[in-house]
């Protein structure tokens, strides 16, 4: 399938793209962690338009969308803190995984925040595909950290990547 992926930072007015993608992606990625009867609550707590807008306006997060042709197929969010880039969200529709789109999103984040010295991401420990993806793209596991989302507790890997190479 020929394609030309394109990434771009999005504006507040375009946050519905992120929400719509999250509604498709997030339940499939987290079905083994969140019971189905609580999925809507979790999606609202993470991806309600007001929450996403607050991320951008109050927390300094930048959102990117990756598209193939006219179809938006994934997104990332990140912010800078003390010279370190924190990727807080990185998702691609399952039908488009394996095409290098996650890598393209990471590069867009890195390019935007130059000259950051490091990049970090927290990944649910049990999400083996996500952990493997990060390891493959130069991140190393630093340590395990407890995380709470709503009433649910998880263990994440805090992963770092040195950008000074």
Say if residue 76 is exposed, middle or buried (CB neighbours under 10 Å; 0-12, 13-18, 19+).
Answer: buried
pLDDT band at 28 (very low <50, low <70, confident <90, very high): confident
Report d(CA 100, CA 94) in Å as an integer: 12
Residue 106: inside a domain:
yes
Report d(CA 137, CA 38) in Å as an integer: 32
Which tokens sit at 130?
């996500």
Residue 107: inside a domain:
yes
Q: Give me the chain's average pLDDT, please.
A: 89
C-alpha torsion angle, residues 42, 14, 72, 90 (rounded to 10): -50
Say if residue 60 is exposed, middle or buried (CB neighbours under 10 Å; 0-12, 13-18, 19+).
Answer: exposed
Residue 100: inside a domain:
yes
Q: Tell me which residue range forms the domain holding 32.
A: 5-117
Q: What is the 3-state secondary structure (H, E, C) of 113-124?
A: CCCCCEEEEEEE
How many folded domains does the chain comprise?
Answer: 1
Residue 18: inside a domain:
yes
Dihedral pair phi/psi, residue 84, rounded to 5°:
-115, 135
Residue 151: inside a domain:
no
What is the side-by-side order of every strand in the sheet holding 118-124? 5-9, 62-68, 71-81, 84-92, 118-124, 152-162, 140-149
pLDDT at 1: 47
Residue 66: inside a domain:
yes
Q: Among the residues of the chain, which ranges form H helices?
A: 15-30, 39-47, 49-59, 101-112, 128-136
Residue 137: inside a domain:
no
CATH of the domain at 76: 3.40.630.30
> Could you report the per-residue pLDDT of 36-82, keeping only the tens digit for each?
676 667 777 778 989 999 999 999 999 999 999 999 999 999 999 98
Residue 136: inside a domain:
no
pLDDT band at 96 (very low <50, low <70, confident <90, very high): very high
């Amino acid at each position: 399938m020929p394609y030309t992926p394109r990434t771009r930072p999005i504006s507040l007015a375009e946050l519905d793209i992120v929400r719509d993608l999250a509604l498709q992606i997030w339940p499939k990625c987290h079905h083994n962690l969140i019971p189905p009867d609580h999925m809507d609550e979790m999606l609202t707590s993470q991806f309600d338009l007001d929450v996403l807008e607050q991320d951008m306006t109050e927390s300094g997060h930048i959102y990117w969308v990756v598209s193939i042709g006219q179809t938006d197929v994934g997104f990332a969010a990140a912010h800078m803190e003390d010279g370190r880039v924190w990727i807080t969200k990185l998702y691609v529709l399952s039908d488009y995984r394996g095409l290098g789109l996650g890598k393209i999103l990471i590069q867009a984040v890195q390019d935007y925040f130059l000259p950051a010295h490091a990049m970090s991401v927290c990944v649910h420990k049990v999400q083996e595909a996500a952990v493997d993806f990060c390891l493959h793209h130069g991140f190393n596991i630093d340590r395990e950290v407890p995380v709470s989302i709503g009433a649910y507790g998880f263990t994440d890997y805090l992963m770092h990547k040195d950008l000074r190479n």
